[in-house]
Structures are given as C-alpha cells and as structure tokens.
Amino acid sequence: MTRGDGMRLFIAHDLPVAVRTRLTMLQGGLPGARWVAPESLHLTLRFIGDATPDQAEDLVAALSRIRAPAFDLSLQGLGVFGDRRRARMLWTGVAPSPGLRHLQAKVEQAVQGAGFEAEHRKFHPHVTIARLRDVPKGRLEGFVADNGAVWLSPFAVTGFTLFRSRLGSERALYEPLVDFDLDQVVGDAASVTP
C-alpha cells in the first residue's frame, strides 16, 4: 500500500462480471437516477471511512487472519433507502445466507481488532445500483413494482477485498488494495460454525 495523508476505506465483495452485466440490464427508465457503473457494483461488508496508512496496515493484518469458508450467494428483489418521498438509493437485496452473515461477523471482529470503532448500524446486505435525486415518486414505485421480482442465479463468494474510495468529478472511484481468499471447502458451506 502507498503512504500518504489518509484514505477512505471499505471492505466488500467484488461481484463477478456476469452478475454485474445482469444488474446493468435493470439500469434505465428512471429519471433522476444516477446509475452505478458496472465496474463499481459491489456488496459492502464494512465501511471504514478515513484511515491513516498505519491504521490501514493494521487492518490488513487483522483481515488476513480471517478464516471462513467460501459460500454461494444470490441477489434478489429491489428496495430503497430513505423514505418514499425522498428515496436516496436503489438497491438489490441478498437472499438469506448464513455464509455471508458469518463472513461479515468475522470482518467486523477484525475491524474492531484493528482499533476501529464498532459498527452501530445493523448489517443490511445489498448492492447499490443507483443513487436517487428528485425521482418522481410514482415513477420510482412503478420501477420497483415492475422489477422487484429480480432474482439472480447463485454465484460463488471465494474472497473479499479492501478497497480505497476516491471522489472523482462524476462519481467515486474504487481502487482494490488487497484481496483476501476464503477457505475452499468440500460439502455444504452453508452450515457454518463460528
């Protein structure tokens, strides 16, 4: 990692190309939506925020000690953050996944072990597909109703990544810093023990 004044960090699962392609097929027909670029689609496990290079190195060391099995994941449904009058974000959800819950708990434990404060918000797994501004209420409700039954075939989650977020003129740019592999197991990866 490079030295500098500081960086904005988050930990996420980078989606396979086929999943990104499928999600981009949903993008369109909603005035006021700023669609997330395909290469930026991801599932956040933990947002860190600003960190010094030393804190980032401690975080990498803590994340590298995580031992968790690989698992399959499926995206399904649509939802919004914010109220219906002033929705801020359009997302697709995640089918219930013990493997994902287990991994996210391990990530949270590692983040705290590296000296960062505990996350007080409940983990709500999702993939942001658009940021919303002044979207007509009826159009948004219609879009969610028309596309809300979306379901993507399961895909393998075999690792996660520490990302750096840089604010660009048009949108945030996400730079992968370090990839971490999950354990490849034979059998049912959904039966997870802590």
Pairing of strands 33-35, 126-132: antiparallel
Q: What is the mean pLDDT of residues 33-38?
A: 94
91 closest CA partner among 74, 76, 79, 75: 79
pLDDT in the model for residue 193: 41
pLDDT in the model for residue 5: 58
Model confidence, pTM: 0.88
58 closest CA partner among 43, 48, 67: 48
| pLDDT digits 0-9 by tens, 48-96 | 999 999 999 999 999 999 999 999 999 999 999 887 678 899 999 999 9
| Residues 160, 163, 166: CA angle, nearest 5 degrees | 160
| Residue 98 near residue 188, CB atoms below 8 Å | no
**Contacts of residue 71, Cβ cutoff 8 Å, sequence gap at least 6:** 97, 98, 99, 100, 103, 156, 157, 182, 189, 190, 192
pLDDT in the model for residue 154: 96
Mean pLDDT (the chain) is 89
pLDDT in the model for residue 114: 96
The percent of residues in the chain predicted with pLDDT above 70, rounded, is 90
| Residue 63 near residue 107, CB atoms below 8 Å | yes
Q: How far apart are CA 137 and CA 143, in angstroms?
A: 10
Q: How far apart are CA 116 and CA 112, in angstroms?
A: 5
Residues β-bridged to residue 34:
131
